[in-house]
DNA sequence: CGACACCTTGACCAACGTCAAATCCGGTGG
DNA sequence: CCACCGGATTTGACGTTGGTCAAGGTGTCG
């Protein structure tokens, strides 16, 4: 297999105008879901499509937020850093997820592509103008952000109160719920992120994540397939593990 | 000092109609901030005022969300529980804060009064109807929820990556920023919550929180006054402590 | 004055982190 | 086809932070 993956995004942020919302594969699972045809046309007028190569940044914490994005394909990680380099990943994004919540027009986290990523880009100023004209769009965004907030609160419970084993089990179940939207074989999870990324998401270390995977494997709850995938062998068992059952 | 505090809320959820938004002391710091007079009148038509006694629940995780609230006075804690009783406090609310984010019309956390609390109550159905008619209100709510999301992400960084000392220092600074909106003497923080509450907010135990307060006091960064208050003696020092300086 | 809840302090312990080495695996080049 | 290289992952030995258990202290309220 030659370097197809790499070529996919050799020009980070390379932008093409003129995508067609009608053909969009994430239309039904994204914020554009309930737009009327005329509203959708206005939205389509301001968007463009962007490719970002694996490992490349998309937004940078602290920089002015000039664009918002919808993830069309690929996977993205969001993180915050402490001055000494400690890192907390606040979320992973998959197709249909919205990216670019900002405060005072400044990105509050860094977003980085885990795989080659295709994005639908909204210039912030123009999107904000549209928000005023299309209340329905603002409504969808409110739903989106509220859902993210609920997820963030679940993550606080995980980070503040769960054991390493419960965290890893919860993580796998969360990933599984997330990929329900795609057409993958059930119970097989692709992990586009490294052990280190998982550790920084769960408030653990690479070693502890690795050891915990091993424990869950030996307990017969999951299996680790050749190419970095995880198979859920015992969903009920995993669910019990995730809350201290 | 007799039991004034207790009497204040002996009838939890006792509701009176007919409050006057014009006189509202939190008008300028709440979601009603930018409403036009006619819009405000429509909002006022659906609200009522509620008192809740200290220690009483306001919403309960998992129950149908029939009302949303604005905190007018007092302090509130929000928390989630694991089946075995482990608790994570996801936030503290103060005057001007909005309460009642729900998913599928179900509360995702329990809210409990820390002190006697006055609330401005919005019936959910009627508020949702108003949202459709007053885009500006939806816009304010979106801002509110986005701000909460940003705070939640900071808290994830705290829970996932900070030491006990950094957590407590960050907590005090956060409280201080929050009370900027009120007219309290600078550098004196009232702590309406117990050490146990602080622990459940910071992902620690009561003992560790207590020990860490003692450490910070001995380091000359804070002082603990007689009546459960904290004085910030060295703000720069506290800020350094909060990020591993 | 006494009960009780909350807070503080102390001694000990365990879960997870740190440091280090072995192993796996894809990619590369002979 | 096979030997080798480098990064990611796994595993092991050991250390540390913060948790657990338990005993005092302190303030409040009846």
The model's pLDDT over B15-32, given as tens digits with 9 standing for 90+, comes to: 555 567 888 999 999 999
- Give the distance from residue B45's alpha carbon to the nearest chain A alpha carbon, in angstroms: 22
Which residues on adjacent β-strands are paired with residue B67? B123
Scanning the structure block, which residue is given the tokens 């000092």?
B1
C-alpha span between A157 and A167 (Å, rounded) = 10
pLDDT at A1: 35
The whole-angstrom distance between B70's CA and the closest CA on chain A is 17
What integer pLDDT is reported at residue B17 of this predicted model?
54
Contact assessment for residue B156 and residue A151, using Cβ atoms and an 8 Å cutoff: no
Express each pLDDT in B156-168 by its tens digit: 999 999 999 999 9
Is pLDDT above 90 for B94?
yes
Mutate which of A147, A153, A196, A242 to disrupt the B interface (most B C-beta within 10 Å)? A153
Per-residue pLDDT of chain A (245 residues; tens, 9 = 90+): 333 333 333 344 555 555 678 889 999 999 999 899 999 999 999 999 999 999 999 999 999 999 999 999 999 999 999 999 999 999 999 999 999 988 889 999 999 999 999 999 999 999 999 999 999 999 999 999 999 999 999 999 999 999 999 999 999 999 999 877 776 778 999 999 999 999 999 999 999 999 999 999 999 999 998 778 999 999 999 999 999 88
How far is Cα A102 from Cα A62, in angstroms, rounded to an integer? 10
Distance of CA B244 to the CA centre of its chain: 26
Check residue A194 and give its pLDDT.
97
- Return the pLDDT at A21: 87
CB < 7 A contacts with chain D (nucleic strand)? A 194-196, 206-207, 209-211, 213-214, 224, 228; B 1, 3, 6, 163-165, 203-205, 207-208, 226-227
- Give the angle subtended at the CA of A169 by the CAs of A167 and A172, to the nearest 5°: 110
**B156 and A156 in contact by Cβ < 8 A?**
yes
Looking at residue A110, the DSSP 8-state letter turns out to be: E
Instruction: For chain A, list residues whose CB is within 8 angstroms of any CB belonging to chain B.
Output: 80, 82-84, 86-88, 90, 101-103, 108-109, 131-132, 135, 138-139, 141-142, 145-150, 152-157, 159-162, 200-203, 243-245
List CB contacts (< 8 A) between B171 and chain A. none
């Amino acid at each position: 297999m030659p370097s197809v993956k790499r070529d996919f995004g050799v020009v980070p942020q390379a932008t093409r105008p003129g995508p067609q919302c009608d053909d969009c594969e994430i239309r039904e699972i994204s914020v554009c879901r309930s737009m009327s045809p005329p509203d959708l046309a206005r939205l389509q007028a301001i968007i463009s499509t962007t490719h970002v190569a694996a490992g490349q940044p998309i937004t940078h914490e602290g920089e002015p937020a000039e664009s918002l994005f919808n993830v069309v394909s690929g996977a993205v990680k969001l993180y915050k850093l402490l001055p000494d380099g400690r890192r907390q990943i606040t979320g992973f994004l998959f197709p249909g997820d919205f990216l670019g919540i900002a405060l005072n027009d400044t990105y509050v986290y860094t977003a980085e592509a885990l795989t080659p990523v295709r994005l639908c880009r909204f210039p912030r100023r123009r999107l904000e103008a549209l928000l005023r004209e299309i209340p329905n769009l603002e409504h969808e965004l409110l739903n989106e952000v509220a859902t993210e907030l609920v997820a963030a609160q679940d993550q606080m419970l995980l980070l503040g109160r769960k054991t390493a084993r419960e965290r890893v089990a919860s993580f796998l179940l969360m990933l599984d719920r997330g990929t329900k939207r795609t057409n993958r074989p059930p119970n097989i999870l692709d992990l586009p992120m490294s052990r280190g990324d998982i550790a920084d998401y769960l408030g653990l270390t690479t070693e502890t994540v690795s050891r915990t995977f091993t424990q869950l494997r030996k307990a017969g709850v999951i299996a680790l397939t050749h190419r970095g995938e995880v198979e859920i062998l015992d969903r009920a068992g995993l669910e019990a593990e995730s809350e201290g059952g």
